[in-house]
């Protein structure tokens, strides 16, 4: 088994659920009092997050959660630094907009480039990081910095910690008076719900789903709420951990375009359909029709197609989100065991950010554990 898969298994089994209550692992010591007063006074009606990969994923979850809870602050997420066509420049300049530049490593260049472009437009900027270049720029330019202080962080795969990132942001926004509650009681309930739900039988069903998806190219499709908050993260787990090709789209958009390639696929394909019990009657009927269309084995062209339906019927947003995410983590784990692919370090290399690279991590570990010769001699 690949080392990342072993660590993944350990996280899923021993940390995922508990991390829902690890919401104090951050520091606001470097948040300016002036900006803190602005936030607490309710000045900001829009938050624009910018970041890449996992550093931005939690922003999408927050966006979906705020919409679900009808929190009167609009959240936008920009996964690039060339924002001219991605966000209205007037929004960036608006005194009611707060910019949060997010990079867990502090070394991703796109958020840094975004900052250098946006700093001439507004002073309402916060860096969200664990350190690195971004923290240094914060010190040099006197920009407010909020630090992640995660326990047991996996340096190579921070996507493990999205549940904790999310809960930290709820606590952070509560302390800043953006939220009226930190949802602690709801998260306690969700934690207990997950403990009861994930039996050996439930985990076994995830392994069976992984077997059905094995050696197939996968597309995730869902209504907007779950496309925004969940599918990008699911995509990331399947691509980075299982290392199987996975894509995503809105359910309705998929049926208007991409479904055409399922006409008579020459290679095995799979659809994972996310069905929310709160869907309106139109989408429920359309999903029924779609499932029948794709699973009718009397149709020869369907023989190379697998469809998996995941039902989100666990009650509130938090139960649905974390239950489905944990289930997908198990599916990705089993797929990762099947595929047994060794990482080529493509993410860190392509992104130009060696901070995530195993060779960098190992070198730093050697440096921090190597004893000082002078001290050894003195002893």
What range does the domain containing 94 cover?
Answer: 18-188
pLDDT in tens, 97-135: 999 999 999 999 999 999 999 999 999 999 999 999 999
Of the residues 153, 188, 223, which one is the last residue of a structural domain?
188
Tell me the pairing of strands 144-148 and 125-129: parallel
CATH of the domain at 51: 3.40.50.10490
Q: Mean pLDDT across the stretch 258-262?
A: 95
Which of 61-70, 200-209, 325-334, 348-357 shows the lowest per-residue confidence on average (mean pLDDT)? 348-357
More confident residue, 208 or 363: 208
pLDDT of residue 361: 66
Q: Mean pLDDT across the stretch 305-328?
A: 98
Residue 140, in any domain of the structure: yes
Q: Residue 17 pLDDT more than 50?
A: yes
Measured distance CA(189)–CA(281) in Å, rounded: 29
pLDDT of residue 343: 82
pLDDT of residue 277: 96
pLDDT of residue 114: 96
pLDDT above 90 covers a percentage of the chain that reads: 84
pLDDT of residue 342: 86
pLDDT of residue 371: 47
pLDDT in tens, 137-194: 999 999 999 999 998 888 789 999 999 999 999 999 999 999 999 999 999 999 999 9
Under the banding of pLDDT at 50, 70 and 90, the label for residue 312 is: very high
pLDDT of residue 372: 39
Average pLDDT, the chain: 92
Q: Which residues pair with 273 in a beta bridge?
A: 221, 309
Q: Based on the fold, state whether residues 170 and 204 are members of the same structural domain.
A: no
Q: Based on the fold, state whether residues 39 and 156 are members of the same structural domain.
A: yes
Q: Based on the fold, state whether residues 234 and 302 are members of the same structural domain.
A: yes
Measured distance CA(137)–CA(152) in Å, rounded: 26
Q: Residue 363 pLDDT more than 80?
A: no
pLDDT of residue 344: 75
Give the DSSP per-residue string, 139-177: HHHT-EEEEE--SS--SS-GGGGHHHHHHHHHHHHHHTT
Query: Nearest CA to 308 among 194, 221, 196, 228?
Result: 221
Q: Based on the fold, state whether residues 183 and 206 are members of the same structural domain.
A: no
Residue 46, in any domain of the structure: yes
Q: Residue 370 pLDDT more than 90?
A: no
Q: Based on the fold, state whether residues 35 and 88 are members of the same structural domain.
A: yes
Q: Based on the fold, state whether residues 231 and 319 are members of the same structural domain.
A: yes
Under the banding of pLDDT at 50, 70 and 90, the label for residue 54 is: confident
Q: Based on the fold, state whether residues 49 and 169 are members of the same structural domain.
A: yes
Q: Which residues pair with 103 in a beta bridge?
A: 129
Under the banding of pLDDT at 50, 70 and 90, the label for residue 356 is: low
Under the banding of pLDDT at 50, 70 and 90, the label for residue 366 is: low
Q: Based on the fold, state whether residues 256 and 144 are members of the same structural domain.
A: no
Domain count across the chain:
2
pLDDT of residue 124: 98
Q: Residue 302 pLDDT more than 70?
A: yes
pLDDT of residue 368: 54
Residue 353, in any domain of the structure: no
Of the residues 188, 207, 240, which one is the last residue of a structural domain?
188
Q: Based on the fold, state whether residues 246 and 144 are members of the same structural domain.
A: no
Q: Based on the fold, state whether residues 171 and 224 are members of the same structural domain.
A: no
Q: What is the pTM of this model?
A: 0.92
Q: Based on the fold, state whether residues 181 and 242 are members of the same structural domain.
A: no
Q: Mean pLDDT across the stretch 229-257?
A: 96
pLDDT in tens, 200-232: 999 999 999 999 999 999 999 999 999 999 999
Reduced to 3 states (helix: H, G, I; strand: E, B; else coil), residue 97 is strand
Q: Mean pLDDT across the stretch 229-249?
A: 96
Q: Which residues pair with 102 in a beta bridge?
A: 128
Residue 297, in any domain of the structure: yes
Of the residues 121, 155, 188, which one is the last residue of a structural domain?
188
Under the banding of pLDDT at 50, 70 and 90, the label for residue 355 is: low
Query: Nearest CA to 176 among 10, 275, 40?
Result: 40
Contact 63, 76 (CB under 8 A): yes
Under the banding of pLDDT at 50, 70 and 90, the label for residue 369 is: low
Residue 180, in any domain of the structure: yes
Residue 137, in any domain of the structure: yes
């Amino acid at each position: 088994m690949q080392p990342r898969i072993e660590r993944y298994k350990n996280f899923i089994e021993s940390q995922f659920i508990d991390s829902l209550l690890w919401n104090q692992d951050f520091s606001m010591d470097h948040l300016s009092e002036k900006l803190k007063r602005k936030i607490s006074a309710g000045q900001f009606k829009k938050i624009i997050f910018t970041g890449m990969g996992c550093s931005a994923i939690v922003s999408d979850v927050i966006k979906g959660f705020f919409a679900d809870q009808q929190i009167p602050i609009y959240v936008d997420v920009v996964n690039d630094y060339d924002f001219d066509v991605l966000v209205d420049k007037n929004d960036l300049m608006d005194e009611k907009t707060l910019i949060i530049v997010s990079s867990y490593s502090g070394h991703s260049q796109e958020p840094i480039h975004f900052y250098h472009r946006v700093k001439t437009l507004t002073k309402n900027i916060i860096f969200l990081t664990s350190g690195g270049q971004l923290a240094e720029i914060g010190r040099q330019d006197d920009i407010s910095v909020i630090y992640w202080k995660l326990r047991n962080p996996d340096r190579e795969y921070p996507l493990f910690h999205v549940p904790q990132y999310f809960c930290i942001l709820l606590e952070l926004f509560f302390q800043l008076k953006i939220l009226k509650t930190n949802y602690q009681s709801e998260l306690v309930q969700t934690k207990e719900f997950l403990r009861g739900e994930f039996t050996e039988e439930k985990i076994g069903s995830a392994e069976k789903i992984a077997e059905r998806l094995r050696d197939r190219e996968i597309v995730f499709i869902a209504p907007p709420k779950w496309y925004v908050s969940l599918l990008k993260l699911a995509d990331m787990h399947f691509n980075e951990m299982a290392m199987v090709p996975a894509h995503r789209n809105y359910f309705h958009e998929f049926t208007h375009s991409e479904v055409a390639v399922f006409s008579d696929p020459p290679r095995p394909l799979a659809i994972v359909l996310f069905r929310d019990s709160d869907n309106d009657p139109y989408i429920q009927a359309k999903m029924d029709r779609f499932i029948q269309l794709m699973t009718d084995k009397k149709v020869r062209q369907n023989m190379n197609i697998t469809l998996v339906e995941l039902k989100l019927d666990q009650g509130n947003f938090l139960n649905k989100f974390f239950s489905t995410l944990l289930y997908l983590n198990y599916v990705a784990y089993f797929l990762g065991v099947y595929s047994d692919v060794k990482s080529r370090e493509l993410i860190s290399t392509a992104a130009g950010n060696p901070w995530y690279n195993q060779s960098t991590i190992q070198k730093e570990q050697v440096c921090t554990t190597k004893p000082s010769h002078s001290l050894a001699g003195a002893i």
